[in-house]
Amino acid sequence: MVPRLRHAFALSLLLTGFVVGADRTHVTVLSTTDLHGHIHPVDYYTQTPAENGLAKIGTLIRRARALDPEVILLDSGDTIQGTPLAYHVAVVAPPREDPMMAAMNSLGFDALAIGNHEYNYGLDVLNRARRSARFPWISGNICIEGTTDPAYAPYIVKQVRGVRVGILGLTTPGVPAWEDPDHITGLDFTDPVAAAHRWVRELRQRTRVDVVVVAMHMGIEENILTGIPNPGQVPHENAALRIAREVPGVDVILMGHTHREVPSLTVNGVLLTQAGRWGEHLSRTTLLLERSDPTASWQLIGKTATTHPVTAEVPPDPQILALTQNAHEATEAWLDQPIGRTSRTLSAAQARVQDSAIIDLIQRVQLDAGEADVSLTACFNTNALLPVGEVTVRDIAGLYVYENSLVVLELTGAQLKQALEHSARFFRPGQRGMTAEELIDPQVPGYNFDIAEGVDYVIDLNRRVGDRITDLNYRGRRLDPRQKLKVAINNYRHNGGGGYAMFQDAPIISRSNRGIRDLIIDWVIAHPDLPTEPSHNWRIRLP
C-alpha cells in the first residue's frame, strides 16, 4: 500500500470509533527538531550524499499537505547552527535572508521553539534569523532578565477546522551552563515546569483552546524503566517526563535536544514524539476530536504519533534547493580553500584511546593562542581526517565541528587532576584482555572525554573511577597539587558542560571572542606544514 493511501486508511480506521451523528474531525501536526543547519542532502565534510536535511524533509511535508492542506508544522529548535553552511551564513558572509528561514518559510512552518544552539553566534545573528522568518520563534520560559515577562511569544494558537490548538514553546534551561554570557545578555532561562504550569493554565482557562501541544527543546531526562537520570546532563536540562507527569492539561509533547528518534510514547496520558536530528525523520501526530453538536466544545478522543524516515527514495524538494543554492555554493567554495599541507594522513579514528597528531593540532593552537601551560580538548569527530597533501578549510571544519571559543583559566594541579579524573569516567571497569575500545562507556558522550596537552599522565583502568590518573607530571616533574597553571579550555567546558564543575569558579585569565575553529585555520595558515607526530604525553594502562 502506498504511503498516502496507508495514512488515509489508518485515519479512516481511527475515525470509526466516533459517536454516530457527532461532529467529528482530526488535526495533523508535523514536526521536525534539531535540524542544525542541514538543508542540502550532503555531508559537507566528506562531500558524500546524506539521507537528511530540510530539502528532503520538505518533500515529505509537501506530500502531507497534499493530503491535508491544514496541517500544523512545528520545529523544536537547534535550527540555525551545526553545518558549515550555517557557520558560513552566520559568521563568514551573512546573506540578505537566512537560508534556513527561507526554506522553512517556503514549507509553511507555523512556529519554532527556541533551542540552546540558537544562541551560539550571539543575539545579533539570532535576531537576524528571526527577522527572516515568517513565523514566530516561541519560548515560555525565557524571560527578560530580572522579570517574569517573556522575552519571546510563549505560545501561538492555530485554528484548524474549528479546533483551537494552543502551541507552547519551551527551551532547555541549561543554556547559561553552555553559552557565553555575552550571547544571552538580558535573558533569564527559567524553570520550564513552572513555566508550563503558567502558560498551559492560561491556554486552557483564558484562551480556551481545545488542545495543548508543547513544542520543547528538551527530551527525556531519565531511563523510563528504572527512573535513573540519564548521565551527562546539567541540572534540569531535560524535562519532558516531568511536564508530562506534573502539568495538567498537556495533550502532546514534541521533544528535541537529545537527538533521539521517539516515534511514540505515552506517559500519564500525554503523547510524546521526537523526530531525531538533522532532518533524518519527520514526526506526524494525528489528533482525533468530536463534539455532540456545533455549540459544544471539542473533545480529544484519540491521538497517535509516528516518525517517517528520510530514505534514498525521497528526492529533495527542488524549490528548497533553488532557494538555498547560492548559500550552498558559497559554502562549498569557502570550504575548498587550501590553507596548509601534511606529509602524512592524520586521522582521529583512534584519538579517544591513544594520543594522536590530529588532536595535538587543536592542543597546539589552544596553547599558542591562550599563551597557556596546559590545554584540554576532546575529540569531537572520530571521522575527522587530514589526508596526505593539501589541507583545506573543509578538513578543519570536520575536525572542529562546534562553535566553541577559547577560555584560559588559572587552575591548581589538584583541580587539573580532578578534571582528568572526571574525564576518565569515559571508560568502564573491565576484565583482563579487553581493549580500550571495549571499555568505553556508551553512556558517556565522547565529546565529554577531555585529553590534556602540556602534562604527561597515565589513565590506569585497573583503578577505580575517580582515582585513575597516575604519573601526572609537568615539565618532567611530578605535578604539585598546589601549583598554579594557565589552562586553555573551551567556553562550553568553562560553563560546566559535561559536568566539569571544577572549572566554573576558577579565575579567568583571558577569554577569546573568536571561535576555536577560526583560531585553528589561522594557525594552519601561519604554519602550513603540519606536525605529523603525536607528543605521546598520555596513555591508557589496560587491565
Place of cell 506530500: 63
* pLDDT above 50 (res 1): no
* pLDDT above 50 (res 288): yes
The answer to whether 486 touches 453, Cβ cutoff 8 Å, is no
Please name the amino acid found at residue 474: Y
pLDDT band at 235 (very low <50, low <70, confident <90, very high): confident
Q: What is the mean pLDDT of residues 462-475?
A: 97
Q: What is the mean pLDDT of residues 218-247?
A: 87
pLDDT given at position 9: 39
Q: In this predicted model, which residue has the larger pLDDT, 433 or 217?
A: 217
Average pLDDT, the chain: 94
Cα distances (Å, whole numbers) of residue 476 to 109, 173, 410, 418, 480: 59, 43, 20, 20, 12
- What is 455-517 written as a DSSP string? SEEEEETTSPTTS-EEEEEETTEEPPTT-EEEEEEEHHHHTTTTS-GGGTTSPEEEEEEEEHH
* pLDDT above 80 (res 499): yes
- Which cell is 164 given? 483551537
Q: State percent of the chain over pLDDT 70.
A: 95
Element (H, E) at 266: strand 261-267
Rounded Cα–Cα distance for residues 180 and 158 (Å):
35
pLDDT band at 377 (very low <50, low <70, confident <90, very high): very high
3-class secondary structure for 172-228?
Answer: CCCHHHHCCHHHHCCEEECCHHHHHHHHHHHHHHCCCCCEEEEEEECCCCECCCCCC
Lowest-confidence region among 9-13, 347-351, 529-533:
9-13
Q: In this predicted model, which residue has the larger pLDDT, 379 or 18?
A: 379
Q: What top-level class would CATH report for the domain 338-541?
A: alpha beta
Chain centroid to CA 225: how far? Answer: 25
What is the signed CA dihedral for 108, 109, 110, 116, rounded to 10 degrees? -160
Please name the amino acid found at residue 513: N
Query: Residue 369: phi, psi to the nearest 5?
Result: -65, -35
For the structural domain made of 3-7+23-331, what CATH number should be given?
3.60.21.10
* pLDDT above 50 (res 19): no
pLDDT band at 8 (very low <50, low <70, confident <90, very high): very low
* pLDDT tens profile 290-311: 999 999 999 999 999 999 999 9
* pLDDT above 70 (res 458): yes
* pLDDT above 70 (res 453): yes
401 contacts: CB under 8 Å, gap ≥ 6: 380, 381
pLDDT band at 76 (very low <50, low <70, confident <90, very high): very high
* pLDDT above 50 (res 354): yes
Q: Where are the domains of the chain?
A: 3-7+23-331, 338-541
